Structure 1
Amino acid sequence: MEAVTVQNQTTKQKLAIVIALAVPAMIENILQTVVGFVDTLFVAKLGLNEVTAVGVANAILAVYIAIFMAIGVGASSLIARSIGAGDVSKAKSFARQSTILSVMLGLLFGLISLFFSEPLLRLMGAESKVLTDAVAYFRIVAIPSIFITLMFTFGSILRATGDTKTPLKVSCWINLIHIGLDYVLIFGVFGLEGLGVVGAAWATVIVRIIGTFLLFFYIKRSKVSFSLLRTSSKEDTLSILKLSTPTAIERLIMRFGQVLYLGLILRIGTDVYASHLIAGNIETFSYMPGYGLAIAATTLVGQSMGRRQYKDAYQYGMITTVVAIIFMSFIGLLLFFLSPWFATWFTTDKNAIDMVVTALRIDAFAQPGLAVGLVLAGALQGAGDTKGPMYSTAIGMWLIRVMGVFILGIHFEMGIAGVWLSIAMDLYVRAIFQFFRYKKVVLDYSKNGCSLKVDKLE
């Protein structure tokens, strides 16, 4: 999108650019969420053991993905800033090096999956009755991890250039193919026997391979087309790693924190745990606008920083944040008033419905905080600061959320209300932290000048 490189835009023009970049990313996220829901629905038709097997395997994959996504974050920030600075050759170098790092990371995790799949699944609590299906599914999906990490990286490279429409197109096609393959390979068709859980795994792998090659095809036609045969400087590799490492740590802090606080919720009671999961599934859709706008913030802030237009960088971050607050506050209203109806989609138990309603109505008031946190995390990453989101996640998840669940949910026996009040406090603490961090980062750049080196951001 050439518009993102135009200088001296009015606030209205900037708003239009934000929306143009964010909407395709929002739609892509919604599509992925819907397809994940359909995938789970198909597997659920096989039985509860099969659902559990896939769930345990995906819990490990979620840790893999947390690390894989970090390379994309580092690449996205550096490529956007290079393009903003008019240094396309540097952007190509970062795209090439992030691809090489992704290949190496994918092969490493593929080997880990090949040799340690069963011990990893046992470590996650897979029982013997689901272990066979879990191992079969995990090996098929996780050994070719190279395609998972390359899809994330290639999508990030394209978005960093301001092109969010191409990843959306690719996502549309592979998600449609995924649903069709899922049905055929899981259940069979025209007299051919279905493969069950194994079929679901192969459907996932096939669409990832297709998606990887499609995204690479579009990269070859973009302004950052690169050759893997050329070498990049060691400095470029270190820059990507320096930005990616805090992001990987942040995602791992989040994942392990989730495991701990979910364990605390389970101590309160299985009914509270189940109600919390239902509320969480409903709440997932509220993240979609925030994620889409965060992608826009990363690209626009990064390109503005690369052009040394720090006022524009700050304004893009703030405009995107305001748009997110408006979008997600509206979703908050829907959660508040429609929560009784949403809850009945999942259960007919009145006690569970009441707890889901309580959770979602508390969450409705947390939506503005969630909006600020998501978008400013993306804006900070675009500015080259991946440590800020890491710090805010560590503080919010471990000091606020985990401790809050223990104190409010368990000690004061507030149940699910205590759990979701803790989540809300976590979101607002992160939002406040990231607002001041973002303001400080951009101000420091404007005072001291900016280069593509990231060693100034401590």
Structure 2
Amino acid sequence: MGNDLSEKQSWRSQSKVILALATPAIIENFFQTIIGFVDTYFLSKVGLDEVTAVGLTNAIILVYFAIFMSIGVAANIFIAKYRGANEHENAKKVAQQSIFLACFTGLIFGIFTLVFSSPILKLMGAEGNVLTLGTVYFNIVAIPSILISLMFVLSSIIRGTGDTKTPMKVSIWINILHILLDYIFIFGFLFIPSMGIIGAAIATVIVRLVGVLLLWRFLGNSELKIRILDKNCWMPNKTIQLQLLTMGGPAAGERLVMRLGQVLYFGFIIQLGTNTFAAHQIAGSIEVFSYMIGYGLATAATILIAQHIGANEYDKAKQVGTTVTILSIFIMTILGSFLFFFAEWLGQLFTNDPDVIRDIRIALQIDAFIQPILAIVLVLTGVFQGGGNTKYPMYITTIGIWVIRTVGVYVLGISLGFGIAGVWIAIGLDNAFRAWLLWRKFSKDQWIQFQQKDGISRKTTISS
């Protein structure tokens, strides 16, 4: 009886710590999600071509996100581990080199966008007005990709110190600004003309710039005390860069195969018609709110687990993983219920087209049953990353996205004629496959990469 009471108290105590870290991350994710949601909502009032153009473009930009996020993941893991081991100087050096890597990759992707924006959209099946609109939007938001990369990496560095509140505050402020600018630039206000999809792109770039400036200011006042004029931010260190790439490479691969697969199956969906793709995009913009909870809890798991492993507290790390998984399943199941019962009403917020509303309802009601499965995938991916094991999620994501989801979308959605229902069933099958494998590996204690394999030399200061 005493042991049961002790376990309950331990579970409650651990849950409080997790939620204290996760809540700001969830709020931050919520406001980040608002950017895409507001763009889709406002542009749906302009036309479905605009929604489709932004949807196709964002599918490509998510590939960029995959790379930038992987740098942030690596920085987050290393900084949290070094803090757990009280190696603060190493943590600062990792942060500095992460900033250098973010700037370099951001510039490379900006140049890539300038050269290949239109050809890529053509490969995805865009043509006519959708291609024209998509190319303009793509160029405006992605040529300054350095802003995107710095947003991801600076936020991750700050979260790695255990501060999840600062990125949340920045996210709140820039998203309030984004909503205001989006409305003004898309529809026009006073002397500012209506610019439609171009206005949405300009608003997005402005808020990203503001976000980078705010995050850099906070980082200078954090325990790492990194300044923009610090020469160590702009001088590459081969040892640290190799460690970041070793840790972040699989995380990038995991997101990259997911996003490239998404680009491919988006091409299949658009074959079902512009209206069906628009319905899928709108349903995805609604469903993505569930991700904010999963990613928020995964962020807390990554930070806490990395800290425990840095302090050689492996049992506590496993307990955190179990607790976060249970919490996420519970919360996202409730959210799934909401999606199921209010699916049609949510669709009506975006369009009056009855066929599009029907497709949105079908997609969201199928997605309602995916939510608890998605919870396992999102959180355990964060758990594995906190344990330094970034390769396994990459392997199973590759199989899930390219074999199960992409093939499933084509077979169920197109060949068998299930339409949007087939698309979302395929998404559910992919998530179920990955959830099963992640949980199986986690339950067998095969999720941690120990010091010989994680790229970190414990208690060894990195050379300058």
Unpaired runs of at least 5, structure 2? 1-8, 458-464
Cα distance 1:208–1:15, how it changes in 2: closer, same or farther (>3 A)? same
Match of 1:393? 397
Whole-angstrom distance in 2 between the partners of 1:242 and 1:139: 31
> Equivalent residue for 1:6?
none
Q: Go from structure 1 to structure 2 and tell me whether the alpha carbon gap of 1:304 and 1:43 turns closer, same or farther (over 3 Å shift).
A: same
1:341 matched to 2:348? The reply is: no
Aligned to 2:438: 434
Q: Distance in 1 between matches of 2:152 and 2:438?
A: 25
The amino acid that maps onto 1:281 is S
The yes-or-no answer on 1:299 pairing with 2:303 is yes
Equivalent runs, 1:133-172 vs 2, <5 Å: 133-172=133-172
Q: Which amino acid aligns with 2:369?
A: F
Contact 1:96 1:232 (8 Å CA) reproduced: no
Residue in 2 aligned with 1:111?
A: 111
Q: Report the secondary structure of 1:10's partner residue.
A: helix
Which blocks of at least 5 consecutive residues in structure 1 are unaligned? 1-8
Alpha-carbon distance between aligned partners in 1 of 2:24 and 2:38, rounded to the nearest angstrom: 21
CA distance in 1, matches of 2:51, 2:447: 50
Which residue number corresponds to residue 231 of structure 2?
Answer: 229
Which stretch shifts more, 434-443 or 292-301? 434-443
Aligned residue in 1 for 2:95: 95
For 1:357 and 1:192, locate their aligned partners in 2 and report how far apart those are by CA, in whole Å: 37
Alignment partners' CA distance in 2, 1:43 and 1:406: 28
Aligned to 1:39: 39
Is it true that 1:242 corresponds to 2:242 in the alignment?
A: no
Q: Point out the more displaced range, 132-141 or 286-295.
A: 132-141
SS in 2 for 1:11: helix
Deviates more, 1:234-243 or 1:351-360: 351-360
Corresponding residue of 2:214: 214
Matches within 5 A, 1:362-377: 362-377=366-381
**Structure 1 pair 356–20 and aligned structure 2 pair: CA distance change class (3 A):** same
User: Secondary structure in 1 aligned to 2:111?
Assistant: helix
Shift of 1:417: 4.2
What is the TM-score normalised by the length of structure 2? 0.86
For these two proteins, the number of residue pairs brought into alignment is: 445
2:213 aligned partner, one-letter code: F
TM-score when scaled to structure 1? Answer: 0.87
Alpha-carbon contact 1:81-1:452 (below 8 Å) kept: no
Pairwise CA distance, 1:367? 1.6
- Aligned partner of 2:312 among 304, 308, 316: 308
C-alpha RMSD of the superposition: 2.9
Give the SS at the match of 2:342: helix
The one-letter code matched in structure 1 to 2:109 is F
Q: Which residue in the other structure is 1:258 paired with?
A: 262
Name the CA distance, whole Å, in 1 between partners of 2:69 and 2:146: 12
Cα distance 1:171–1:346, how it changes in 2: closer, same or farther (>3 A)?
Answer: closer
The answer on 1:287 being equivalent to 2:291 is yes
Counterparts in 2 of 1:428 and 1:417: CA distance versus 1, 3 Å: same
Kindly indicate whether residue 85 of structure 2 is the aligned counterpart of residue 81 of structure 1: no
Contact (CA 8 Å) 1:257, 1:398: kept in 2 or not?
Answer: yes
Please report how far the alpha carbon of residue 191 of structure 1 lies from its aligned counterpart in structure 2 after TM superposition: 3.1
Question: Using the alignment, how far apart are the partners of 2:78 and 2:179 within structure 1?
Answer: 35
**Letter of the structure 1 residue corresponding to residue 208 of structure 2:** R
Secondary structure in 2 matching 1:225: coil
Name 1:3's counterpart in structure 2: none
Equivalent-residue separation in structure 2 for 1:109 and 1:205 (angstroms): 15
| Alpha-carbon separation, structure 2, partners of 1:113 and 1:340 | 37
| Cα drift, residue 332 of structure 1 | 1.8
User: For residue 378 of structure 1, what is the aligned residue in structure 2?
Assistant: 382
Residue by residue, what CA displacement relative to the aligned partner does 1:391-434 show, whole Å, maximum 9, x if unpaired?
A: 12112112222333344445555554443333222212111211
Q: Write the letter of the residue equivalent to 1:81.
A: K
Whichever residue aligns with residue 368 of structure 2, its letter is A
**2:178 is matched by which residue type in structure 1?**
H
Task: Determine helix, strand or coil for the equivalent of 1:191.
Answer: coil
Distance 1:386 1:92 in 2: 22
Percent sequence identity is 49
Q: Deviations over 1:192-211 (max 9, x none)?
A: 43444433332222211111
Structure 1 counterpart of 2:388, one-letter code: G
Of 323-332 and 340-349, the range deviating more from structure 2: 340-349
CA distance in 1, matches of 2:158, 2:88: 13
* Partner amino acid, structure 2, of 1:109: F
More displaced 10-residue stretch of structure 1: 248-257 or 365-374: 248-257
Contact 2:59 2:262 in 1 (8 A): no
Give the letter aligned to residue 221 of structure 1: N
Contact 2:103 2:146 (8 Å CA) reproduced: yes
